[in-house]
C-alpha cells in the first residue's frame, strides 16, 4: 500500500477513536449523573428548590423569587415516581443535559467537522464543574441545557433569513430559558440582533415596524405564560410585583454581592470572577492537570488562528457576532449583578469559551493533524476521569451536615445560632434548637429564652457581629471545625462552631 493509503487508514482510525472516546464519555457521564445524584440538599437555595416540589409558595421561599417554574415543574413530574425532591430535581438536570447533546453538536457543525463537533460536545459534557452542578438540585445545569437549544434555534434563524417560524421558535425557547433561570436574561441580546438582521428584508419602515411589533408580541406572549402562571399562584399581579420588588431590592443591595454594594474594588472582582470562578472553577474544576491542558489547548488554538489567515473578523457571521455579544453581556451580568462568591453563576461561560477557541483554531479545516485529534482525546478522557472522581464525592457529608451530626450527639439542651445553615437544619428536622441571627442586639435579647441551654454560634454569625464592631473573643470558645468540598459548598465548606460562655 502506498503512503497516501496508509495516511487515509490512519486518519480514519483516529476519527473512529475520537468518536468512540466521545460517545463513551457522554454515555458514562450520563450514567454517573444518575448514580451519584445528590440525595439531600446542602444549602439554602437547594432547600428552597426541594421544598417547592411539595408546596410551591414564593412567599415561603419555596422556591425563592422568581420561582423557576419550568425547572420545578419537571422536578414535580419526576418526583411522582422518585419520591425524593432533591433526587428528582437532579435527575431532571441530568435528563436535560443529555438532551442538549444534539443542539451543542449542531452549533459546532456550523464551523467544525463532524468528528471535531462530537469532540467539542464531549469536552463540554465532561467538564467537571458542569457535572458538579448537574448532580445537585439547582437550576443552573437545566438552564445551560436549554441555553444550547436556544443557541441552536438562533443559529438556524440567522441562516434562514426569510423564515418567520424560526424566530418564533427562538422566542419560545428563550421563554423556556427564562422560565428555568431568569438571570439568563442577557442572552436575549441574541434575539435582539436577530430582529435587527431581518431589517434588510423590509423595504419600508412601516413594513419593518409591523414585523417588529408582531415578533415582540409573540415573544411577550411566550413569557407571559410562565409569568402569568406565577402571578396567579401568588394571589394576583399586585402581590407578585410586591414580591418581585422586595426580592430584587434585597438581592442587589445585600444578597447579590454586586459591584455597587460589595466592599471589594471592581478590579479585584473582575480578577476573582475570571481567575477563580471561570478559569479555576468553571474550566478546570479545581484540577491542575485540566487547567494546564486547557492552557495548552487555548494557546495552540490562538496560534492556529493567527497562522491560518488574517481574515478572522470578516469570517464571523451574524450568529458569530451574536454569540460573542451574548457571552460578553452575560459576563458583565455575572460581574455586576450576581454574587461572585458563588461560582455557579458563570456556568454558561466555560462551554461557550471552549467553543469559541475551537472556532478560532479549527474553523473550516478539512484535515486535522493526528496530534490535535489525540490531544482532544486525552483531554476528554482526563476530564471524564476527574468528573467521575468528583461526582463520587457528591454525597460525602457537607460541612453543615457534619455540624448537625455533632450537635445531635450532645445530650443536653442546646441552641445553635446560625446564618444560612439553619435552612438546612429545618429541612432535616433536627432535634436541637437553632435560629438564624443577624444582629448582636437580637442575639442578646434572644438569650433570655434559653438560659438553661448551652449556646453555640457558627463562625458566620461571629463574622457578622464583627462587621457590627462587636468583638466576642473573651466570651466564646472554639469547639470544632467542619470541612467539605469547595466545589459542592463554595460558601459553607468551612464551618467553625463556637460556644458562648455565659
pLDDT of residue 253: 43
pLDDT band at 1 (very low <50, low <70, confident <90, very high): very low
Per-residue pLDDT at 309 exceeds 60: no
Using one digit for the tens of pLDDT, what is the confidence trace for 247-283?
A: 655 554 443 344 334 557 889 999 999 999 999 999 9
Q: Cα angle vertex 418, ends 182, 85, to 5°? A: 45
How far, in Å, CA of 71 to CA of 181, rounded?
Answer: 8
Per-residue pLDDT at 183 exceeds 90: yes
Cell numbers representing residue 285 in the block: 474544576
pLDDT of residue 160: 86
How far, in Å, CA of 138 to CA of 103, rounded?
Answer: 22
Percentage of the chain lying above the pLDDT 90 cut? 71
Per-residue pLDDT at 359 exceeds 80: yes
Using one digit for the tens of pLDDT, what is the confidence trace for 58-108?
A: 888 899 888 899 999 999 999 999 999 999 999 999 999 999 999 999 999
Using one digit for the tens of pLDDT, what is the confidence trace for 420-457?
A: 999 999 999 999 999 999 999 999 999 989 988 999 99
pLDDT of residue 361: 83
Per-residue pLDDT at 307 exceeds 70: no
pLDDT of residue 474: 87
Sign of dihedral through CA atoms 355, 360, 361, 366?
A: positive
pLDDT of residue 67: 87
How far, in Å, CA of 479 to CA of 501, rounded?
Answer: 12
Using one digit for the tens of pLDDT, what is the confidence trace for 372-416?
A: 888 899 999 999 999 999 999 998 999 999 999 999 999 999 999
- Mean pLDDT over 297-310 rounds to 76
pLDDT of residue 265: 83
Contact criterion met (CB below 8 Å) for 55 and 151 = no
Percentage of the chain lying above the pLDDT 70 cut? 91
- Mean pLDDT over 149-178 rounds to 93
Domain ranges of the chain: 3-391, 399-500
Sheet holding 414-418, edge to edge: 433-436, 414-418, 454-458, 494-500, 476-483
Per-residue pLDDT at 117 exceeds 90: yes
How far, in Å, CA of 120 to CA of 359, rounded?
Answer: 10
Using one digit for the tens of pLDDT, what is the confidence trace for 209-231?
A: 999 999 999 999 999 999 998 88
3-class DSSP assignment, residue 118: helix
How far, in Å, CA of 419 to CA of 461, rounded?
Answer: 6
Amino acid at each position: 500500500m502506498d503512503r497516501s493509503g496508509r495516511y487515509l487508514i490512519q486518519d480514519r482510525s483516529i476519527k473512529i477513536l475520537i468518536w468512540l472516546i466521545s460517545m463513551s464519555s457522554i454515555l458514562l457521564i450520563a450514567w454517573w449523573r444518575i448514580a451519584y445524584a445528590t440525595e439531600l440538599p446542602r444549602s439554602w437555595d437547594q432547600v428552597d428548590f426541594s421544598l417547592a416540589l411539595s408546596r410551591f409558595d414564593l412567599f415561603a421561599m419555596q422556591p425563592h423569587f422568581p420561582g423557576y417554574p419550568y425547572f420545578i415543574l419537571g422536578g414535580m413530574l419526576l418526583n411522582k415516581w422518585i419520591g425524593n425532591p432533591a433526587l428528582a430535581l437532579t435527575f431532571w438536570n441530568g435528563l436535560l443535559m443529555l438532551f442538549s447533546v444534539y443542539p451543542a453538536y449542531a452549533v459546532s457543525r456550523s464551523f467544525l467537522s463532524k468528528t471535531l463537533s462530537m469532540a467539542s460536545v464531549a469536552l463540554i459534557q465532561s467538564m467537571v464543574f458542569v457535572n458538579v452542578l448537574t448532580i445537585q438540585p439547582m437550576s443552573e445545569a437545566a438552564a445551560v441545557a436549554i441555553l444550547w437549544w436556544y443557541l441552536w434555534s438562533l443559529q438556524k434563524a440567522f441562516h434562514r433569513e426569510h423564515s418567520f417560524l424560526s424566530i418564533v421558535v427562538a422566542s419560545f425557547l428563550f421563554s423556556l430559558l427564562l422560565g428555568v433561570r431568569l438571570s439568563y436574561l442577557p442572552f436575549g441580546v441574541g434575539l435582539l440582533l436577530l430582529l435587527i438582521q431581518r431589517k434588510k428584508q423590509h423595504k419600508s419602515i412601516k413594513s419593518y415596524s409591523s414585523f417588529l411589533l408582531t415578533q415582540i408580541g409573540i415573544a411577550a406572549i411566550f413569557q407571559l405564560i410562565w409569568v402569568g402562571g406565577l402571578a396567579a399562584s401568588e394571589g394576583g399581579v399586585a402581590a407578585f410585583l410586591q414580591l418581585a420588588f422586595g426580592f430584587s431590592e434585597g438581592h442587589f443591595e445585600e444578597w447579590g454581592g454586586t459591584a455597587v454594594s460589595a466592599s471589594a474594588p471592581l478590579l479585584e472582582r473582575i480578577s476573582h470572577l475570571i481567575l477563580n470562578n471561570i478559569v479555576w472553577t468553571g474550566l478546570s474544576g479545581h484540577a491542575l492537570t485540566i487547567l494546564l491542558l486547557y492552557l495548552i489547548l487555548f494557546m495552540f488554538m490562538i496560534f492556529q488562528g493567527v497562522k491560518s489567515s488574517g481574515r478572522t473578523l470578516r469570517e464571523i457571521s451574524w450568529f458569530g457576532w451574536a454569540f460573542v455579544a451574548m457571552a460578553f453581556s452575560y459576563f458583565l451580568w455575572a460581574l455586576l449583578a450576581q454574587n461572585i462568591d458563588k461560582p455557579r453563576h458563570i456556568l454558561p461561560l466555560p462551554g461557550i469559551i471552549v467553543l469559541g477557541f475551537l472556532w478560532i483554531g479549527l474553523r473550516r479545516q478539512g484535515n486535522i493533524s493526528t496530534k490535535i485529534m489525540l490531544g482532544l482525546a486525552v483531554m476528554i478522557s482526563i476530564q471524564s476521569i476527574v468528573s467521575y472522581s468528583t461526582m463520587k464525592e457528591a454525597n460525602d457529608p457537607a460541612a453543615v451536615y457534619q455540624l448537625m451530626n455533632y450537635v445531635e450527639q450532645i445530650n443536653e439542651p442546646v441552641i445553635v445560632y446560625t446564618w444560612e445553615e439553619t435552612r438546612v437544619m429545618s429541612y432535616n428536622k433536627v432535634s436541637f434548637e437553632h435560629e438564624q441571627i443577624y444582629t448582636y442586639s437580637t442575639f442578646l435579647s434572644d438569650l433570655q429564652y434559653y438560659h438553661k441551654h448551652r449556646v453555640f454560634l457558627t463562625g458566620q454569625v461571629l463574622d457578622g457581629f464583627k462587621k457590627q464592631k462587636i468583638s466576642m473573643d473573651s466570651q466564646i470558645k472554639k469547639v470544632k471545625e467542619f470541612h467539605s468540598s469547595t466545589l459542592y459548598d463554595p460558601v459553607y465548606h468551612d464551618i467553625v462552631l463556637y460556644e458562648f460562655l455565659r
